[in-house]
Amino acid sequence: MHVFVIMKHKDRAVVTTGPDRTIASLAGLLTTHRIGAVPVTGEDGALVGIIGERDIVRGIAEHGAAALSLPVERLMVTGAPTCRPTDTIREVMSVMTSQRVRHLPVIDDGRLRGIISIGDVVKQRLEAIESEAEDLRGYVTGVELGNVAMFQR
H helix or E strand, kind and range, residue 116: strand 111-117
Cβ atoms of 22 and 39 closer than 8 Å: no
Dihedral angle over CA of 32, 40, 6, 34, nearest 10: -10
Band of residue 144 on the pLDDT scale cut at 50, 70, 90? low
pLDDT tens, position by position, 111-138: 999 999 999 998 888 877 777 777 777 7
- Give the pLDDT score at 153: 47
- What are the domain boundaries of the chain? 3-141
Hey, which CATH number is domain 3-141, 2.40.128.20, 1.20.120.520, 3.10.580.10, 3.30.499.10? 3.10.580.10
Cβ atoms of 113 and 46 closer than 8 Å: no
Q: Going by DSSP bridges, is the β-strand pair 103-108/47-52 parallel, antiparallel, or unpaired?
A: unpaired
Separation of alpha carbons 50 and 32, rounded Å: 18
Nearest C-alpha neighbor of 1 from the set 152, 138, 107, 129: 129
Provide mean pLDDT across the span 8-33. Answer: 92
Separation of alpha carbons 8 and 124, rounded Å: 11
